[in-house]
Amino acid sequence: MRRKAQATGVDMRLGPRPGEIIDRSRGLTFTWDGDTYPAYRGDTITSALAAAGVRVMSRSFKYHRPRGVMTTSYLDPGCLVQVGDEPNVRASHRMVEPGMSARPQNAWPSLRYDVKSANGALAPFLSAGFYYKTFMRPKRLWPAYERVLRGFSPGGAVSPEAAHDYYDKRYAHPDVVVAGGGPAGMAAAVAAAAAGAAVMLVEGEPELGGHLRWGAAPELAALGDLRRAVAATGGIEVLTDSVVTGRYDGNWVAVVQRSAPGVVERLIKARAGVLVAAPGLIERPYVFSGNDIPGVMLSTGARRLINLWAVKPGERAVVLTANSSGDAAVCDLADAGVDVLKIVDARSGEDVVRAKGGRTLRAVECADGTTVECDLLVTAVGWTAPTSLLNMAGDRPVYNERAARFFPGGGHDDVLATGGIAGDGSLEQLIDHGSAVGRAAARRAHEVSATTEIPSLPVEAHPALFKARTHGFVDFSEDVSSKELEEAVAEGYDSIELAKRYTTATMGPAQGKLESVNAVAVVAAATGATIAATGTTVWRPPYSPVTLGALAGRSFEPVRYSPMQPWHEAHGAKPLVAGQWIRPDHYGDPAAEVRSVRSGVGLIDVTPLGKFDLRGPDVPKLLNQLYINKWSKLALGSVRYGVMCAEDGVVLDDGVTGRLGDDHYLMTATSSGAETVWEWIESWLQTEHPEWRVHVARVTSDFASINIAGPRARDLLSLVVDDVALGPEEFPYMRVRSGSIAGIDGSFMWRIGFTGELSYEIHVPASYGLGVWETLLERGADLGVKPFGVEAQRILRLEKGHLIVGQDTDGLTRAYGAGLDWAVKLDKEDFAGKPELGWQEGRDDFLRLVGLRPLEGTAVPAEGSQIVEAGIIVGRITSSRMSPTLGRSICMGFVAPHLAEPGSAISIVAPDGSRVPAVVTPQLAQVDPKGERLHG
């Protein structure tokens, strides 16, 4: 492969610079657009490319104009590239690594000859919002137009194979978080730590120092002092290449650490006592014709390139300066051997008119009528204060005419500002201010004083420079010009929010940090309002774009298993994902499992059943409040089935509760409803009845639960229980007993019957679950005991006509519709849903849950199939299965009241459109409707 630097013969690398951050002893190579380039450790992708004379880094979004380096920072709008499978990498921020493969993003077929650059000629037709005005007719062609528009979308590509690397999170509780490691931020951190605060100092660049890093000798000397002070002061955690991405309510501060060892990125969530915002100032681009041509740079961009990476930004330069940064750039350029052909001093009214060139800058036309041939134009026209962290705390920035920039509105106790966003002044003044803010932050974090006086920084006059007399780009990443903004205003989009939305200015990857204030200024000029009245746009989090990986961290989607799950899997169980739980669906043949329960005895693992341990004298009150039926008289040792409704009378959950002691109960809820029921209980106890003496503990996974069902259930249980009398008289239906099961004390068993068989549900301490399960299978081998899964249980309960809340009820099913009229006890003093149910009593216009039998015994209409009468929907199938016991299909479903009578003929529409005639059965239960098996 060619060595590009040699091939082009261009070498812009300078001799050693005092503040350079490249390691000349460690050379490396990487590829750009397929060609190999040399670089040093410490180079960014663009500094290495600029050193090799590469000027075009990308093509712009709409017009495919060539773009190059401008800010040499994270915000560089023309420097988003693809690195491997990572899109939109900030090439002026990302360090090169050996073997890295970087590609331009928005160019086809190549950066040099981009076909879509013809769009530039079409610019007048592609003006802001053009797509709202065309592609409407013919309507049928819109999808084709849309594909073309989609083809324009900027940005890199994601690959479906990209690995989800390792990201993680950390919690921190610093007294003070300082966002920004420039001089003021470092001083604030040192002062806060010296005052006893635990400090987290966060800097976006790879090193502390802010603008001092690309300064001259005195700045570098000060930088050394400050860095030493930070290192020497205990209690400061320094995070470089990290960024405070958001400040949320309660000073909940998000920090993304980009180069943490061992992880791609780490999200640190810090509950900060005080947040000190010290992000410095962002240099503002100037709006004029040609302001995006490669070779037009900001003064900070040129200075960084020269001083940090020892790269000469051009050969012949014009400098437009309105401030000391521009003046310093002039010195740096001269020092780097660049011919500074002309200095345009905006402070004395001088100006540039336009830049000319194609793939690179050729000349600059100045307001004095001269045109200077050059390959570099450096502008220094002013600053933008990135106040977004303050905005997130509710701050509204205020425009200062004298300084021609926005300032924080101020007035927060737990978010303070220092450095450039707070004002101007000498380096000493900035450091002093930072120290004062740091001390105040420490005091406030320790709640010593909330009203510490903080001196204010001077505000220096700065010419108000936003736009020259020509039109140019306001938003480089969105390709929006000042002309388009003016046109938007003229079309009626005459507030900053409307103009922004119409043109998409400020909506791109730089999030408005470069372009927001220019957009406001252009709109203000167009509407005749002041900048202050036009206002800034609200900066929303995050401060800097954050990867989904960092936000997600490691995946914490816990899987819940019963202690018997490994056994199930080892015995061929097909897993069923049921919310958080993984359960055995069946062990191969659910119909056989049903038959073995009906004829002998079976075991099912029902551990996921929601379980709550309730204690206290007021438990009956709680039960009466939650359930629609009555609970005051539940005798010791008894179990009752209960139904809960929400306040709208809609069935919420069901389950059984047993009384284990005088003030001790065990409540169960459905597996899927367990979380909701817990929140429901807590909301009643915490907000409505804090005076009730009830303790609730969630014990779902403290117990392993097993249902033993079938005519031989008692025989099986008697093999493992000897301290509880199991006879039908001593332990009848709906009773609970505590005792020892298979030698395990502290176990409970109750007699209930979801399957319709004689059955016992046993709850044993979870750690013994597997042992008890295996013991039951071993001892019961002679009885023919077999495990059964969720599918068999569903069939069994359907045969028995027991409903499942959420399947055989829905978001509108009130207790009456589900055939639970018997449970509604309106004479109770109060219960959740009582007013609504009272109101519904006696109505007869709601759907009823009924048992159904297809006439054709082999037809099983899918659950969800609709019941139709004369083209109108009159019901639906909620449950349907082949019944192994009856050898035919059976269903449960909702039907309109006039069809609810047993014997009514109905017509089901199956998903394939075929009709399935069926008849309403006398009861919900189709097997053992009298309940003889259950009570046996």
Site residues (CB under 8 A) for other proteins, limited to 619-678? 648, 672
CB-based contact 762:776 (threshold 8 Å): no
Sign, CA torsion 694/698/700/701: negative
Shortest Cβ 935–other proteins spacing (Å) = 31
17-46: which residues touch other proteins (CB under 8 A)? none
Between residues 418 and 516, which has the closer beta carbon with respect to other proteins?
Answer: 516
- Judged by CB under 8 A, the stretch of 335-343, 378-386, 777-785, 802-810 that binds other proteins is 802-810
DSSP conformational letter for 381: -
Show contacts with other proteins in window 500-519 (CB under 8 A): 501-502, 504, 509, 511
Nearer to other proteins, 495 or 775 (CB): 495
Consecutive H or E run containing 653: strand 651-661
* Token pair in block for residue 298: 């900001």
Is 293 in contact with 57 (CB distance < 8 Å)?
A: no
Given the complex with other proteins, which of 546 and 704 has the nearer CB atom?
Answer: 546
Interaction between residue 171 and other proteins (CB under 8 A): no
Rounded to whole angstroms, the Cα distance separating 286 from 317 reads 16
Chosen residue from 541, 616, 765, 897 binding other proteins by CB under 8 A: 541
- The CA distance from 525 to 529, in Å, is 7
Q: How far is the CB of 484 from other proteins (least distance, A)?
A: 12
Complex with other proteins: residue 88 or 638, whichever CB lies closer: 88
Give the CA distances from residue 529 to residues 526, 535, 727, 897, in Å, rounded to whole numbers and listed in that order.
8, 10, 91, 67
Which of 97, 165, 335, 339 is in the footprint of other proteins by CB under 8 A? 165
Q: Which residues of 704-723 are buried (b: 16+ CB within 10 A; e: fewer)?
A: bbbbbbbbbbbbbbebbbee
Looking at beta carbons only, is 410 or 549 nearer to other proteins?
549
Instruction: Classify burial at 678, counting beta carbons within 10 Å of its beta carbon; exposed 0-12, middle 13-18, buried 19 or more.
Output: middle
Residue 846: CB minimum distance to other proteins, A = 10
d(CA 636, CA 294): 86
Which range touches other proteins (CB under 8 A), out of 80-88, 203-211, 328-336, 347-355?
80-88
Q: With respect to other proteins, which residue has the nearer C-beta, 585 or 799?
A: 585
Does the CA dihedral 7-8-10-11 come out positive or negative? Answer: negative
User: Does the footprint of other proteins cover residue 557 (CB under 8 A)?
Assistant: yes
- Stretch touching other proteins by CB under 8 A, among 623-631, 660-668, 710-718, 858-866: 858-866
Q: Identify the burial level of 902 via C-beta atoms within 10 angstroms of its C-beta, where 0-12 means exposed, 13-18 middle and 19 or more buried.
A: exposed
User: Of the two residues 10 and 498, which places its CB atom closer to other proteins in the complex?
Assistant: 498
Decide whether 786 or 814 has the Cβ nearer to other proteins: 814
811 binds other proteins (CB under 8 A): yes
- 806 binding other proteins? (CB under 8 A): yes
Q: State which residue, 71 or 106, has the beta carbon closest to other proteins.
A: 106
The residues pairing with 171 across neighbouring beta strands, listed in sequence order, are 269
Q: Which phi-psi region, left, alpha or beta, contains residue 172 (left: φ > 0; alpha: ψ -120 to 50)?
A: beta
Among 229-237, 315-323, 498-506, 517-525, which window interacts with other proteins (CB under 8 A)?
498-506
Question: Which residues in 919-936 are b (16+ Cβ under 10 Å) and which e?
Answer: ebbeebbbbbeeeebbee
- What mask of x and - would describe binding to other proteins in positions 131 to 160, judged by CB under 8 A? xxxxxxx-x--xx--x--xxx-xxxxxxxx
Instruction: Select the residue interacting with other proteins from 18, 144, 161, 570 (CB under 8 A).
Output: 161
Restricting to residues 81-110, which ones interact with other proteins according to CB under 8 A? 85-88
Q: For residue 223, what are the CA distances in angstroms to 204, 305, 750?
A: 16, 18, 75
Type of residue found at 362: R
Choose between 678 and 733: whose C-beta lies nearer to other proteins. Answer: 678
In a 3-state reduction of DSSP, which class is residue 655? strand
Rounded to an integer, what distance in angstroms lies between the CA atom of residue 501 and that of residue 496? Answer: 8
**Start-to-end Cα distance in the chain:** 86
Quick one: 467 or 500, whose CB is closer to other proteins? 500
Closest separation in Å from C-beta 485 to other proteins: 13
Distance between CA atoms of residues 690 and 239, nearest Å: 46
CA distance 475 to 154: 14
- 337 or 528, CB closer to other proteins? 528
According to DSSP, the β-strands at 266-271 and 602-605 are unpaired
| Shortest distance in whole angstroms from residue 681 CB to other proteins | 17
- Residue 683 as a binder of other proteins (CB under 8 A): the answer is no
Tell me if 450 contacts other proteins by CB under 8 A: no
Nearest distance, CB of residue 523 and other proteins, angstroms? 12
CB of 393 to other proteins, least distance (A): 9
- Which one, 88 or 740, has the nearer CB to other proteins? 88
For position 548 contacting other proteins by CB under 8 A, the verdict is: yes
Q: Which residue's CB is nearer to other proteins, number 304 or number 483?
A: 483
Residue 217 CA: distances (Å) to CA of 221, 333, 758? 6, 15, 91
Site for other proteins in 254-293 (CB under 8 A): 254, 264, 267, 269
Q: Does residue 207 bind other proteins (CB under 8 A)?
A: no
CB of 474 to other proteins, least distance (A): 18
Under the binding rule (CB under 8 A), the answer on residue 919 touching other proteins is no
Q: Choose which of 10, 459, 532, 551 interacts with other proteins (CB under 8 A).
A: 551
Sheet holding 101-104, edge to edge: 35-41, 23-32, 101-104, 80-83, 86-90
Give 360 or 527: the residue with its C-beta nearer to other proteins. Answer: 527
Stretch that binds other proteins, among 112-120, 127-135, 376-384, 626-634 (CB under 8 A): 127-135
Number of residues that bind other proteins (CB under 8 A): 100
Instruction: Enumerate residues 695-754 that contact other proteins by CB under 8 A.
Output: none
CA distance 837 to 826: 8
Distance of closest approach, residue 674 Cβ to other proteins, in angstroms? 15
CA atoms of 85 and 108, how far apart (whole Å): 18
Within 10 A of 1 (CB to CB), how many other CB atoms are there? 9
477-496 binders of other proteins (CB under 8 A)? 487, 490-493, 495
Of the pair 87, 857, the CB lying nearest other proteins is at 87
Neighbours of 368 (CB within 10 A): 12
Region near other proteins per CB under 8 A, out of 79-87, 209-217, 629-637, 685-693: 79-87
Residue 652 or 764: the one with the smaller Cβ distance to other proteins is: 652
Quote the tokens at residue 526: 């167009």
Selected binder of other proteins within 164, 469, 695, 915 (CB under 8 A): 164
Q: Least distance to other proteins from the beta carbon of 162, Å?
A: 4
x-or-dash pattern for other proteins, window 816-855, by CB under 8 A?
--------------------x--xx--x------------
22 close to 41: Cβ distance less than 8 angstroms: yes
Specify the residue, 153 or 858, whose C-beta has the smaller distance to other proteins.
153
In 226-360, at which residue ranges do the beta strands (DSSP E only) sit?
A: 236-239, 242-248, 252-257, 266-271, 274-277, 282-283, 296-298, 316-321, 339-345, 352-357
CB of 507 to other proteins, least distance (A): 8
Pairwise CA distance, residues 700 & 668, whole Å? 9
